[in-house]
A and B are shown apart, each in its own frame.
Chain A
Amino acid sequence: MSEEVIVNSPPSAGPVKHEDLALLNQVAKLAPGDSHLEMCIQCGTCGGSCPSASAMDHTPRAIFAMLRAGMRDEVLKSNTPWMCVSCYYCTVRCPQDIHITDIMYTLKNMSLKSKMVQDSTASDFSRTFIRYVENYGRSFEIGLAGIQNVTHLRLATRLPNMAPMALGMLTKKGMSPFPPKRIKGMDGLKKILKRAKEMEAA
């Protein structure tokens, strides 16, 4: 345990302790259900099955190796979980039955909590989506897409493409440009979410 071994890692990471499983255990504990995370055999089926792997800075397999190596900062700064599209190919193909998609959600939670997110495009999208839900009980697609396009997707340069689409949403699809009607039990929902957040922070 005391012997320090240098494993394959970026130069910035410095030497990491072999068998430092604190990080791995923490992730496994935070994931809902039994994630089987410690069972990874590094076969790489997950990365090979991933439709958005090309946009990731580490494949899921590499992330699991890094978790085992205790490389907290590198994992939590990685864009890998944020590029996950939740298609569950890796989850059903994993020979060790690791709940990979749910691990990715857990890693997103952890990187937000530790403020290590490098590019906030994805997390801001989630936050805007949820802000409507927390206030109305329902999501609001038009408002969400509008805010996301203005803040992150350089709407001005893409306006020629976007304008007919936005018009189509309103006219063809008959979508309302106004926020949804609040649910009746909004007070109750707010109380539920407040307590849930307190428990999450604890």
Chain B
Amino acid sequence: MSEYLFYPGCSMESSAKAYYHSVMSVCKTMDIQLKEIDDWNCCGATEYLSLELTPAYALIARNLALAEQQANGSKTVVAPCSACYLNLSKADHYMHENKAFGEKINTALAAGGMHYDPGELVVRHLLDVVINEIGLDKIKEKVVKPLTGLRVAPYVGCMLPRPDYNNRYSDNEHPYELDDLMRALGAEVIDFPLKTACCGGHMTQIGPGTAFELIRRLISSADDYKADVLVALCPMCQMNLDAFQGQMNGYFHTNYHMPILFFTQLMGLAFGEKPENLGFGSEFVSAHEAMKRIGIKTPVLEPTKPAAKKPAGLPMPPPRPRSGEKVNIGSEEASQ
């Protein structure tokens, strides 16, 4: 049994519940105990750093201070979100590298009765823990339902392999950890050339045109390689590629249908967990067809129907039928 401090991050409680449930499920199978940091706060993503430096780092460091206080045995903080992971490790890195900066952030923390000793904790992403702590051999032992025949595009994104302060990944631009993991699950892995290209980040809300082009590149490349699904390991990446895929298709007049899953969802399936417990069905681009091809039935949530169109103009009685015409108002829809 290995125990870690756990920093879930805000998305896990809102837009990425599928990630949360699948992380919990696979960690149970792998005998990893995650102890959630009590009363953690948002890491500020890439937004606070844009506004004010000192408050931004103080916000991040409050989490490190809490984790240090609550550490009981393990001094490793595991974050499943790439942005959270990078922010936590960045604050630790700069506070450690630049003593004056570390003291400055600690002066701010002291206002709330807190303190963090830079370098005390080790911050890691879940993928890193799975690969380097649990190991692929143990993963292979746990696989009861190999994903044979499923073509997977492994998408790592930016903030995990870059800047990679502690050299945890095999390469800044073409790391192969996620490929190895997917292969261990029995999947067929495409050599995805854009595996660390940008998903657009917050640009969907700032410059949608720029974001859609970045999303299109990734989806069309995975599609060119005939991938059945693309796996992501960050809630932001998953959200951009999945939820905005429809709008991207509209923008470019394309018709891509690339399901975007979290890597833990596929791990869970291979470990024999039921798809319902892994958050399947919550994706915008349904993975149902892709998974059906390898004999796995995942739930389909009814696509949300837009509200029925109200007839234009004033409320008027329906037109009177001409003589000899059948009256079948209302039955037309039912017969379809």
Contacts and interface: CB of A to CB of B under 8 A. Distances in A.
Q: Is the interface of A mostly helix, strand, loop or mixed?
A: helix
B51 A109 contact: yes
Given A109-B51, A199-B54, A192 B114 contact: yes
A141 B11 CA distance: 8
Contacts of A189: 41, 59, 62, 112
B208 to A, nearest CB: 7
Interface stretch (B22-30, B128-136, B242-250, B260-268): B242-250
Given A126-B50, A133-B59, A199-B108, A172 B203 contact: no
A105 B49 contact: yes
B82 to A, nearest CB: 10
Contacts of B104: 199
Interface string B69-110: 000000000000000000000000110011001001101111
Interface in A160-202: 161, 163-165, 167-169, 171-176, 180, 183-185, 187-189, 191-197, 199-200
Contact of B17 (A88, A99, A174): A174
Contacts of B40: 183
B51 A32 contact: no
Given A122-B206, A169-B15, A32 B94 contact: yes
Interface string B42-62: 101111111111110111001
Interface residues of B, number: 74
Interface in A127-186: 127, 129-130, 133, 137-142, 144-145, 148-149, 152-153, 161, 163-165, 167-169, 171-176, 180, 183-185
A108 interface: yes
A196 B108 contact: yes
B166 interface: no
Given A92-B173, A121-B207, 17 more contacts: A52-B203, A55-B207, A85-B202, A86-B46, A89-B198, A105-B53, A138-B42, A165-B246, A168-B303, A172-B284, A172-B301, A176-B14, A189-B59, A194-B111, A196-B108, A197-B54, A199-B108
